[in-house]
A and B are shown apart, each in its own frame.
Chain A
């Protein structure tokens, strides 16, 4: 007799810890209670109506925000109380100089780059920036923002990608729904967390986002 039971958390696949996994590059192996988040922005003259993080070029003196790849919503990302977030990997490349900042609760806390044009950077951080050093038990919610500013005199083309781990510190699992945003009309609504093709309930247009909730490890 098979029946449904309530969920309590997320484990790992059986026997998943191998002595020799043959990983020849840096990988990721999430623990129970951890989940992956990714934030992107691409400033380009190439139009992509379905991908929320592909945006027009950034004009001089303007500031743009990275976009939550799972929801299509611009940062700041709302980190719920009871959780910490650690930025573990970032990469960026621009045709002109760009300033990239991390802000927590609207306050700048770290500068990812003052990048010269033509420079491509990829960093897999051993010691990540983390809200754990600011709020180790996740008592408060936090606004997490990554901003790109064009300090120069020409339009900015380029991209930034940031990956982070969100970890529960003694709280129930993350909800199984997410609030997403239509890339065409801006309407926001809730969908199951593993939804990638969003058909807007208001305008009917398609927006494509990622699902990272079931990601556990790199292969």
Chain B
């Protein structure tokens, strides 16, 4: 029998660990590249950030995925100008799985530097 007291439930929020994988690449005109990185932890990709400097003029195609699956966008490509969209995702990944980004610069004249940043949460 509990006298004069009450039970309290204390919810302990687990600590969240995150890792970022950043890919930044300068593409010469009419050049494409596939960049691969090893995923350092088992967890969930919670966001993908793409950065297009002003001047890209929707001429640089970007797609991101892991293993055999394209993640961002689900289909097709993203090609923007002066934009840094943060795309929320919820994609489970495994330790040492391959994260890849395909960047293609279809500008006849100008090089462009594209940045892709992926956040993985445990």
Binding site for B on A (CB under 8 A): 1-17, 32, 173, 176, 214, 216
Contact = CB atoms under 8 A, between A and B. Distances in A.
A4 B80 CA distance: 20
Given A5-B105, A8-B59, A9-B106, A14 B30 contact: no
B31 A9 contact: no
Contacts of B47: none
B112 A5 contact: no
User: A12, A176, A214 — which one has the most chain B CB atoms within 10 A of its CB?
Assistant: A12
**5 closest Cβ contacts across the A-B interface?**
A11-B57, A14-B53, A12-B55, A8-B106, A5-B32
Contacts of A16: 54-55
A5 B108 contact: no
A1 B34 contact: yes
A3 B57 CA distance: 21
B40 interface: no
Contact of A12 (B30, B32, B57, B105): B57
A12 B106 contact: no
Main SS of chain A's interface residues?
A: loop
Contacts, number: 73
Main SS of chain B's interface residues?
A: loop
Measured as residues with beta carbon below 8 angstroms from the partner, the interface class of chain B is: 20 to 34
B107 A9 contact: yes
Contacts of A6: 30, 106
B33 interface: yes
B29 interface: yes
A17 B54 contact: yes
B104 interface: yes
Nearest to A3: B32
B29 A13 contact: no
User: A11, A13, A32, A176 — which one has the most chain B CB atoms within 10 A of its CB?
Assistant: A11
B31 A3 contact: yes
B110 A13 contact: yes
Contact of B54 (A1, A5, A8, A14): A14
Contacts of A12: 54-55, 57, 110
A5 B32 CA distance: 6
B26 to A, nearest CB: 9
Contacts of B31: 2-5
B70 interface: no
Contact of A11 (B32, B33, B59): B59
B113 interface: yes
Contacts of A2: 31-33
B37 to A, nearest CB: 14
Nearest to B52: A14
A15 B32 contact: no
B3 interface: no
24 contacts: A1-B34, A3-B33, A4-B31, A5-B105, A6-B30, A7-B30, A7-B106, A7-B107, A8-B106, A8-B107, A9-B57, A10-B57, A10-B59, A11-B57, A11-B109, A11-B110, A12-B110, A14-B110, A14-B112, A16-B55, A17-B54, A17-B55, A176-B108, A214-B109
